[in-house]
Chains A and B, each alone.
Chain A
Amino acid sequence: MSGTSAALTTAREADAVAARTVKTFQANGQHAEARERFAELVARHQRRANRIAYHYLREAADADEAVQDAFVKAFSHLSTFREELPFDVWFTRILINGCLDRIKARTRRERWLVPMGRITAPRTENAPAERDLADRTPSAAASPEDALLSRERRQQIALALARLPERQRAVFVLSHVEGCTSREVSALTGLNESTVRVHLFRAIRKLRSLLSTDAPLEQPAQLKGKRRVTS
């Protein structure tokens, strides 16, 4: 068993224990204790949840709200949580469903609203993401030239990711950005495991073709020797 897998197993065991304790507290009416214990789960999964929600929704405010809703929903429905399933898988499923609902609501809303940007310039699919990326400051201690290049690279990748079909994007983000295995992605999305692999394959190919015309990505030194977590 590799170090990553061992760490994952330990984290999941800790999650299971915490979830069981929260359930017991809730059943006994000890709500303050339940909340306190649940805060541990929140702290452990919050960052990951924010990343997933952000890649689904492409807006920080929306992602923030979606994550809050998912945690509140998980707390109030913890009695339905089956302990044989990892907590993170169960919780991520709640989060993804919430994000999909938000996307649907947003699509319905946008059908009736003409954004201001459309009047002046043609609107791309990820216009808010582009704006967000452009406004964001790159890592500290980078020269202005490096910062500009880094920002451009982020823009290119965000654009390319936004051009992927929804399922391919979801599978790519979950399996690659969050390091989920194909089995976990299958459990999270409800797709067949082989379908997950096909979507991942297509996503990588499409990203490659979309980014092939651009300058090759600079490889950060810390990535050397880093491998994807596979099943």
Chain B
Amino acid sequence: MSLLERLFGGHFGDREFARLWTTGGGHPHLDACATCRARFESFDQWVLGIGDVLRADADAALPTERVASQQAQIARRLETLEHPARVIAFPKAARAVINGHSHVRRWVTVAAAAGLIAGVGLGQVLDIHRTVERTSRVSAPVTHISAATAARATTVKPVALAADDDFLSDAGAFSRPRVSSALLPLEDMTPHAGDPVEGRR
């Protein structure tokens, strides 16, 4: 049923009531039709009733005591606005990580790693060199002693005993303390200096 039909013959529906209620204006039909006027009154009360229920609902959700505590809380928060919270600085180590100098740190790390590798490498090389040197120092008296024993063997001893004597003298030479080549002249000058040590053994 159209609005015109309702105006001339029928009655207003909810749509017209809602429109009239929203615009807040009256209508000639309401003045003429007592039924529609009464229904509009009822509609009006219904809408107002909803508002009242919703207001009561909100007031019940936030009762007076809660509103009072809220007011106190607002006052406290406004007071703290004047005294903002103190910001505690991060420790220096943490700041160094985040302050944008990471490329410097990276270079330092790389240099330290390179230094470590170089040090280890150099240490290895020096160790090898020292070992070689030591080996050469030890091998020199052995050759000297073995030459002397060879000369002795050829002069006096029979063939069967010569091998045993060589073995024993070689063993004795090896059991003697190693003497550096630089000290050999001194050793020659004092041939019996090692006797007490030998006797103790």
Contacts and interface: CB of A to CB of B under 8 A. Distances in A.
A201 B78 contact: no
A205 B19 CA distance: 9
Nearest to B70: A64
Contact of A55 (B48, B58, B60, B66): B58
Report whether over half of chain A's contact residues are helix, strand or loop; otherwise say mixed. helix
Contacts of A177: 51, 54-55, 58
Interface string B9-31: 00000110011011110000000
Interface stretch (A5-13, A37-45, A94-102, A111-119): A37-45
Given A51-B59, A54-B61, A60-B62, A72 B78 contact: yes
Given A51-B59, A136-B60, A154-B57, A219 B49 contact: yes
A157 interface: yes
A200 B81 CA distance: 40
Given A72-B78, A201-B19, A204-B18, A216 B46 contact: yes
A68 B74 contact: yes
Interface residues of B, number: 38
Measured as residues with beta carbon below 8 angstroms from the partner, the interface class of chain A is 35 or more
A223 B45 contact: yes
A157 B53 CA distance: 8
B82 to A, nearest CB: 5
A196 B19 CA distance: 13
Given A136-B60, A158-B57, A230-B24, A46 B71 contact: yes
B67 interface: yes
A144 to B, nearest CB: 18
Interface of A: 31, 35, 38-39, 42-43, 46-47, 50-51, 54-55, 60, 63-64, 67-68, 71-72, 75-76, 132-133, 136-137, 139, 153-154, 157-158, 161, 173, 176-177, 197, 200-201, 204-205, 207-209, 212, 216-220, 223-224, 226, 228, 230
A63 B21 CA distance: 30
A54 B70 contact: no
Contacts of B160: none
A217 B49 contact: yes
5 contacts: A47-B59, A157-B54, A207-B50, A208-B14, A223-B49
A4 to B, nearest CB: 14
Contacts of A200: 22
What 10 A-B pairs come out closest when comparing CB atoms?
A51-B58, A230-B24, A54-B58, A201-B22, A60-B61, A204-B18, A50-B62, A219-B45, A217-B49, A136-B60
B109 interface: no
Nearest to A218: B49
A112 B52 CA distance: 36
Contact of B47 (A51, A132, A176): A176
Contacts of A64: 62, 66, 70
A176 to B, nearest CB: 5
A18 B51 CA distance: 30
B75 interface: yes
Given A72-B81, A157-B57, A217-B46, 13 more contacts: A51-B59, A55-B58, A64-B62, A68-B73, A68-B77, A71-B74, A75-B81, A136-B61, A139-B56, A154-B57, A204-B47, A208-B14, A220-B52
A50 B46 CA distance: 24
A161 B75 CA distance: 33
A226 B58 contact: no
